A and B are shown apart, each in its own frame.
Chain A
Amino acid sequence: MVAAPATNAPIHQSSSDGATLAIRDLHVNIDSREIIHGIDLTVNKGEVHAILGPNGSGKSTLAYALMGHPRYAVTSGEVELKGEDLLAMSADERSRNGLFLCFQYPTSIPGIQMGNFLRLAMKARFGDAAIKTFRKELTEKLRILKMDESYMRRYLNEGFSGGEKKKAEILQMALLKPEIAIMDETDSGLDVDAFKVVADGVNAMRGPDVGFVVITHYNRMLEYIKPDFVHVLIGGKIVKSGGPELALAVDQHGYQPILEELREQGVEIELMEEAGATYAREEPTEREHDPFRSHGLTGL
């Protein structure tokens, strides 16, 4: 268990009042085991926050908990979205209120056409009026993401390559215009070209109307999407926050110096079993980490 590392308190934590997204002392369980041990994070529109951390440090858990995944239980703490209690909202309410999660492993749903799904999502977020401009907007976003119109007739993520799935996530994000967008390891599993397209898509969205939380364990993503703030998440806690230079330091020296620094301060970090002490940099396989593993029917 972690004692609060006072010297590593997030640098912009002075006031979370009036913030777009304010997370205070968030604790999250999966299957009655605590994974997130108290996170404080404030994100405003116009800001890009990067969350770095080794595998198993709780990055994705944070993302799913914020997006109301039924398997992730918030046991204590507060989260406000534009001053409203996010945790009291259902997942769909969170979305309609401007929160978006770009999934690391988007779910494939056979039988649901992409175009029809997007139209319904736009209607849910913006009302009937959005349907009128939907076509035009869609065409524009497809062009930016170098996606063909034929995607719209395909089933939702069904048979999509890794890159296509990520592009489809960015497309949804671009259309739904969230105020806070969480990107969970969007860079994983992408080849260089797809990566570039995805990064361009995100950069095209950047601006004063949206705040980003970019979760990654590679610095590569942050070379394209320059963060304003960088947080290091280890053992279910944000152990260090800083500016872009922190991402560079992690890239060059890994997480070991930060861990040593914490140890000198007498802070113990609980490491996840699956991550191990070595922080292997291999990509997790989809099966092992996919929180969407379906226990339902196959071959639908």
Chain B
Amino acid sequence: MTTLVAPGTPTELRGAGLNSDTSRAIGAWRGDPDWVLDWRAQAWAAWETIPMPTPTTEGWRRTNLRILALDKVHAISDAVAHVTSRADLPASLQKAIDTGFDHGAVLVQENGTTILTEVDTQLAGTGVIVCDIHEAIHRYPELVRAHLGTLVPPRWQPGMPSNAGKFEALNAAFFNGGTFVYVPKNTTVSLPVRSLVYQSDADAAFFPRSLIIVDENARLTYLDEYTSVNTASPDAPPVFGSAVVEIIIKDGGRVDYTSIQEWSLSTAGFLTQRASLGNNASCNWVAVVLGGMYTRGTADVLLQGKGTRADMLGLAFGEGTQVFDFHTLQDHQSPFTDSDQLYKTAMRDRAHLIYEGLINIRTGSYGSNGYQANRNVLLSDTAKADSIPMLEISDNDVLCTHGSSVGPIDQMHVYYLLTRGLPRPVAERLVIQGFFEPVIERIAVDDLKDRVRAAVDRKIGEQG
């Protein structure tokens, strides 16, 4: 068991906005070493320098950022008291954690503070580290410094994948909370390690930054969950935040990564997840996105080593006026690398899906395979999906396919179920569940499949 002893948030920071003083003050309060303070400063400069994306910016053409009210956002929330056991957690978090399967470790974070850390003693004995990111900066400085920001740097660099990195820079300038995981060489963590990031302060932004390092021939199953409260009134500016996850998988390592975003429908947030794979490493990544009025989801795999393999699965269900703005990258940087992506979404009401996925086969990536499929179902005439799969191939002897589809729910499937007496809403839900099932099926751990099915069922309504 490890616990972080953190001082309370300085009262003078309460209500402070997003500016360089607050960025420095958060660093000071966190007791950041100089290199992190410098890092935050660089990030703040990047935030100020990079222009705010507009509807004419490449990659943001379908995005409306006017819903954000960044001038009103508080940079940090009051610290939340730690609890010593699950029983002391707020009821909603207890319920979220208690999903009937065993964990190797659990970290619960509220408003940037890690309020509960549970690490299986056997797991801790193997040298596996699971702790709060700030604690890791102090206790394992070399390990953290060598990896933090290597995939999602504080300042965007030319040639780096994905978009301009503005909101990733914002995360670095204010980062507060996040999970650190290190799995030593040749170590298998069989029970899932779980992180739950909860924002209960609607006025404050959330900026968690997680760093997962899986060393050579090590193996990790990681469940990454995000939830948030609703704003007090529907007219209030949305709950805002930018979360970053870096996953570094060294030679021969494997990560089964499942992330579930269940933000409130009055949350507008950014979630940037990027994984790198060393020689013969592999990852099986399932991204489930259900919440948020606006979600900018960036999911990138960097196939750096030879013989790497990445499976990228995605699932989203939208309702009301939810907007999902997904950008994915399968970046083949070495020979004999495989990536296989399947993103499936269903949108009802006036929900809107944007998907831009790129397979980039770089020079020197001969013998690689890249697959990409984006399937979208529209459940109403007013729902919308813009799907843009892209391919960039700079080497020979590669095999790539990509495809996307947008269409209504298959009425013949629904009809068959109706003829067996299932009322139409039940039949439609069942067809949607069936549509998502091929994605859920590919989650590596059965317990997590059930966790995802439950989340999806909750979202689309219980079966009749």
Q: Cβ of B434: which chain A residues have Cβ within 8 Å of it? A: 109-112, 155-156, 300
B416/A109 in contact, CB under 8 A: yes
Any B CB within 8 A of the CB of A292 = yes
CA of A297 to CA of B373, assembled, Å: 13
Q: Cβ of B437: which chain A residues have Cβ within 8 Å of it? A: 110-112, 155
Any B CB within 8 A of the CB of A120 = yes
* Interface hit among A8-16, A89-97, A186-194, A277-285: A89-97
Within 8 A of A (CB), among B371-390: 373, 375, 377
Q: A297-B375, A299-B375 are in contact. Are A117 and B417 (CB under 8 A)?
A: yes
Within 8 A of A (CB), among B404-419: 405, 407-413, 415-419
Any A CB within 8 A of the CB of B10 = no
Q: Cβ of B410: which chain A residues have Cβ within 8 Å of it? A: 294, 296-297, 300
Within 8 A of B (CB), among A146-171: 155-156
CA of A110 to CA of B435, assembled, Å: 7
Any B CB within 8 A of the CB of A70 = yes
CA of A106 to CA of B423, assembled, Å: 19
Majority SS of interface residues in chain B? helix
- Identify which of A94, A109, A121 contacts B431 (C-beta below 8 A): A109
Q: Cβ of B433: which chain A residues have Cβ within 8 Å of it? A: 111-112
Chain B positions 221 through 238: 1 when the CB is less than 8 Å from some CB of chain A, otherwise 0: 000000000000000000
Within 8 A of B (CB), among A242-300: 292-294, 296-300
Any B CB within 8 A of the CB of A220 = no
A176/B420 in contact, CB under 8 A: yes
Any B CB within 8 A of the CB of A197 = no
Q: Cβ of B407: which chain A residues have Cβ within 8 Å of it? A: 296-297
A91/B426 in contact, CB under 8 A: no
Q: Cβ of A296: which chain B residues have Cβ within 8 Å of it? A: 407-412
Q: A110-B437, A299-B373 are in contact. Are A70 and B420 (CB under 8 A)?
A: no
Any B CB within 8 A of the CB of A124 = yes
Residue count of chain B within 8 Å CB distance of chain A: 33
User: Which residue among B421, B431, B435 has the maximum number of chain A CB atoms within 10 Å of its CB?
Assistant: B421
Any B CB within 8 A of the CB of A55 = no
Any B CB within 8 A of the CB of A143 = no
Q: A111-B433, A112-B433 are in contact. Are A300 and B375 (CB under 8 A)?
A: yes
User: In the complex, what residue of chain A is closest to B342 when comparing beta carbons?
Assistant: A299
B412/A106 in contact, CB under 8 A: no
- Identify which of A120, A293, A300 contacts B435 (C-beta below 8 A): A300
Q: Cβ of A116: which chain B residues have Cβ within 8 Å of it? A: 430
B375/A112 in contact, CB under 8 A: no
- Interface contacts (Cβ under 8 Å), in number, total 105
Residue count of chain A within 8 Å CB distance of chain B: 38
Chain B positions 436 through 464: 1 when the CB is less than 8 Å from some CB of chain A, otherwise 0: 11100000000000000000000000011
Q: Cβ of B423: which chain A residues have Cβ within 8 Å of it? A: 92, 124
Q: Cβ of A112: which chain B residues have Cβ within 8 Å of it? A: 430-431, 433-434, 437
B418/A298 in contact, CB under 8 A: no
Q: A112-B434, A112-B437, A297-B405 are in contact. Are A121 and B412 (CB under 8 A)?
A: no
CA of A110 to CA of B437, assembled, Å: 8
CA of A176 to CA of B375, assembled, Å: 34
CA of A123 to CA of B422, assembled, Å: 9
B416/A110 in contact, CB under 8 A: no
Any B CB within 8 A of the CB of A21 = no
Q: Cβ of B377: which chain A residues have Cβ within 8 Å of it? A: 297
Any B CB within 8 A of the CB of A202 = no
Any B CB within 8 A of the CB of A69 = yes
A125/B416 in contact, CB under 8 A: no
Q: Cβ of B375: which chain A residues have Cβ within 8 Å of it? A: 297, 299-300
Q: Cβ of A73: which chain B residues have Cβ within 8 Å of it? A: none
CA of A107 to CA of B412, assembled, Å: 8
CA of A109 to CA of B188, assembled, Å: 37
- Mark B residues whose CB is within 8 Å of A: 373, 375, 377, 405, 407-413, 415-424, 426-427, 430-431, 433-438, 463-464
> Apart from A109-B413, A124-B421, what 12 extra A-B contacts exist at CB < 8 Å?
A91-B419, A92-B419, A94-B419, A96-B421, A103-B416, A112-B434, A112-B437, A120-B463, A121-B421, A293-B412, A296-B409, A300-B438
* 28 examples of A-B residue contacts, CB within 8 angstroms: A68-B419, A70-B415, A91-B419, A92-B418, A92-B421, A92-B423, A92-B424, A92-B427, A95-B419, A106-B416, A109-B413, A109-B416, A110-B438, A111-B434, A111-B437, A112-B437, A117-B417, A117-B420, A120-B426, A124-B421, A124-B422, A156-B434, A294-B410, A296-B409, A297-B377, A297-B410, A300-B375, A300-B410
Nearest 5 pairs of A and B residues by beta carbon: A111-B434, A111-B437, A95-B421, A296-B410, A124-B421
